[in-house]
Amino acid sequence: MYSRVPARRNILVNTSSDNQVKNSTFDNDNYPVWAGFNGQYFSSSQTHQTGMTKGISEWRHYSPLFNQSYMQSHIGNLFVYTEDPYNVDGFDPFDPVDRAILIYGAQAWWDNVNSGTTNNNPDRGSNVVGFFTNGTSSRIISNTTLSTIQSTASFSTTSTSQSCWCRDTEWQQVVPVPDSATTCKFGARIKVSATDKLKLRNFAGIYIAEDREPTSGTFERYVNYFGVRHTNHTFTLPTGSLSTAQSQYNWNGMEVKDTTQNIRYYTPQWVTATEHAMLDQDDYEDWEKVEYSFTLQPGTNRDISINLFFAENTYYIHNSVTGNTGGFQIFDPFVEFS
């Protein structure tokens, strides 16, 4: 899934002077591995957490790929020292220094670990939209170029599996929006190492989500994102106003809500998706800053979420294709308001 790779020696510095994201340099020395509870919140005082079911201070884990129980799902991440990017942080329990996060895929469905939830199921949760708490109704398809997902769909069908992705590693943070804010700028320093390139159909990136529940009773999500992909792949994710299968199987995940409790899953009925860029990984073999701006939805008492994700093509997962998934490195993800 991942192999340790060197990076050119350069000391990273904070990206934003007005960053509203907490623990953006992952310096609280948390090191979750393998499996975690979706949506569980860990405060800034929770440091030196290492192992399964542990978390990252101020961040919430999300993955629809359950690998340990019906509540515990896949975590694919390592941390890289920013002072010496040749070295991966090796689970030192008392070393609170700035780090970059490296996220990667799962390479298998993990249905054989008795999680109680079938991952190999393209239309899992197809009768559920809106907010819910049962992970068995979360969509394993997190993004797709398909316009419909049939109840008889199978990942054994190559055309289906190659047209779908599972965001099997994702970290979310909810960020309160000032009532006066009209614009959001988001980004990070990012890297895809020359010796750890993304597999052809995989992609990764960062997205911002805003949720609305209009009086009509429908559930809407506004998504602004950028992605990084393989140089030789040319898929196009659906953007603009999405409904039916394209909204329910694109950008589902955890709800946007500011709470210290476990938050709920969310499958939107309507999505407005804006792609700011789909970047070529070959242009990011060393650390580069990326940033994009968009107009916020109006209102007061608003929250957004910033989400760091790795999207693995379901063809690779279904067929347990050998070889590394590739890794996406992120340092100092930021959100600024104006």
- Half-sphere exposure of residue 67: CA atoms within 13 angstroms, side-chain side: 22
17 part of a folded domain:
no
* Positive/negative CA dihedral, 12, 61, 299, 273: positive
Question: Do the strands 328-337 and 183-191 form a parallel or antiparallel pair, or are they unpaired?
Answer: antiparallel
Q: How would you write the pLDDT of the chain (338 residues) with one tens digit per residue?
A: 543 333 344 557 777 779 999 999 998 888 999 999 999 999 988 888 889 999 999 999 999 999 998 889 999 999 988 766 556 655 555 566 889 999 999 999 998 877 788 999 999 999 999 999 999 999 999 999 999 998 889 999 999 999 999 999 999 999 999 999 999 999 999 999 999 999 999 999 999 999 987 666 789 999 999 999 999 999 999 999 999 999 999 999 999 976 666 689 999 999 999 999 999 999 999 999 999 999 999 999 999 999 999 999 999 999 999 999 999 999 999 999 99
Tokens of 295: 């107009």
206 part of a folded domain:
yes
**How many whole angstroms separate alpha carbon 278 and alpha carbon 260?**
33
**How many whole angstroms separate alpha carbon 134 and alpha carbon 124?**
12
Residue range of the domain that includes 109:
31-337
18 part of a folded domain:
no
Q: How many CB atoms are closer than 10 A to CB 13?
A: 11
Which amino acid, residue 106? A
Element (H, E) at 318: helix 314-319
Total domain count for the chain?
1
**How many whole angstroms separate alpha carbon 109 and alpha carbon 113?**
10
96 part of a folded domain:
yes
pTM of the model: 0.94
Helix, strand or coil, per DSSP, at residue 247:
helix
- Judge contact between 73 and 67, C-beta under 8 A: yes
23 part of a folded domain:
no
12 part of a folded domain:
no
**How many whole angstroms separate alpha carbon 4 and alpha carbon 248?**
36
Tokens of 166: 């599972």
Which amino acid, residue 149? I
Q: How many CB atoms are closer than 10 A to CB 319?
A: 14
